[in-house]
Amino acid sequence: MSIKYICSECSKKYDPKTLVFRCECGGVLDLEHFDFEFSKDDILSNEWSLFRYLKALPFTKEFNQWKEISMGEGLTPIVPLDKDMPDILVKVDYLMPTLSFKDRGAVVLISKAKELGVKKVIQDSSGNAGNSIAAYASRAGIECDIYVPEGTSAKKIKQISCHGANVHIVKGSREDTAHEALMAAERGEGFYASHVYNPFFYQGTKTYAYEIYEQLDLNIPEALVIPVGNGTLLLGCYYGFKELLNLGLIDKIPKIIAIQASGCAPIYEAFKANKRFVEAVINTGTLAEGIAIAKPMRGKQILEAVRATSGVIITASEDKIVAAREYLAQKGFYVEPTTAATFAAFLNYYKEKNHGIKGKVIIPLCGAGLKKD
């Protein structure tokens, strides 16, 4: 399968082997549509990782090094949050090798880099994505440079460097850090393994949808609650359900209820104003730092996805995050503040008027609380 990148703005195509990471017009790259057959019978029932959906993933038939790279990520449980709310389900996506849902995207992206013969990857992150890319790159025998902003905690830097990655500390903001990594990629120093720019990452996060399809035995939920900053889970999940719909395996895509933090909510603002594009905002600060993205590169695509499902974007207020984190811990789940914010916002929305939601709702628990203490 020699799959190409395609520009989301001008449709120009590129070969991933060229290490290009954005179009010359500045547009973000998607993957060109690739055809595959897939039904429940195609699930590899003896493969205990997200590679059980291999037929739906963008690899050649001959490529099997994913077997050496996979650490059994995916296949996370879906369980009721509380016995008194049987329709509110959580998908425990922090039960992953590096303790966050980012492993879905990282394992597919790094496997693809291996298939392309990449020797070095570059990534910028101060959190879960950098950790995840560093771990999988190490496992794949690919050199890895991770750019982090100054002020990143020593604990996080240690986590990343323990995986053998070279950590570059950048003076300035999170945006300055992304710029430095991007410049390094532009100079040809390596393959930009960005969870924002690289469309192969979304081929991994789309397995979130495939798992829901398999685990709920066709009983697809009415709504999906998804935290959104850069849209790595939201877009992947949408692509996955869209594929299942096009394959005739489901008859509708669940409604997406996307959550932003009120201190940094550019996509919410654009949605509310009925705009097609997202304008950057100033991050006024939030505990939900996993979704605090002031200038989301795929904002337009996120708006399109939410609208295509007749979904909605709501915000989490800061004062509810700590209490929601405590509540989830009392239910047995110790999560990151970003996940707590997601839960708090949804509960507020759901309790308000129910908003016509009658069936099951799935909320992802994206990151383990132990990473944020």
Name the site residues for Zn ion (rule: CB under 5 A): 7, 9-10, 12, 23, 25, 27
Minimal distance in Å, beta carbon 24 to Zn ion? 7
Angle between helices 232-246 and 102-115 (to 10 degrees): 70
CB of 238 to Zn ion, least distance (A): 22
Chain position carrying tokens 């849902």: 101
Q: How many CB atoms lie within 10 A of CB 38?
A: 17
Q: How far is the CB of 16 from Zn ion (least distance, A)?
A: 15
Instruction: Quote the least distance from Cβ 122 to Zn ion, whole Å.
Output: 21
25 or 79: whose CB is closer to Zn ion?
25
**Would you say 131 and 160 are in contact if contact means Cβ atoms under 8 Å apart?**
yes
Q: Give the nearest distance from C-beta 182 to Zn ion in angstroms.
A: 16
CB of 28 to Zn ion, least distance (A): 9
Residues in the chain: 373
Nearer to Zn ion, 5 or 94 (CB): 5
Element (H, E) at 364: strand 361-364
Toward Zn ion, which CB reaches closer, 24 or 68? 24
Minimum CB distance to Zn ion smaller for 13 or for 276: 13
| Strand ranges of the sheet holding 29-31, from the earlier edge strand across to the other edge | 13-14, 5-7, 29-31
Closer residue to Zn ion, CB minimum distance, 27 or 164: 27
Query: What distance in Å separates the CA atoms of residue 292 and residue 212, rounded to the nearest whole number?
Result: 27
Nearer to Zn ion, 25 or 323 (CB): 25
Say if residues 167 and 157 touch (Cβ distance below 8 Å). Answer: yes
Q: Among the residues of the chain, which ranges form H helices?
A: 66-69, 102-115, 128-140, 154-162, 174-186, 200-205, 207-215, 232-246, 266-272, 299-308, 321-330, 337-353
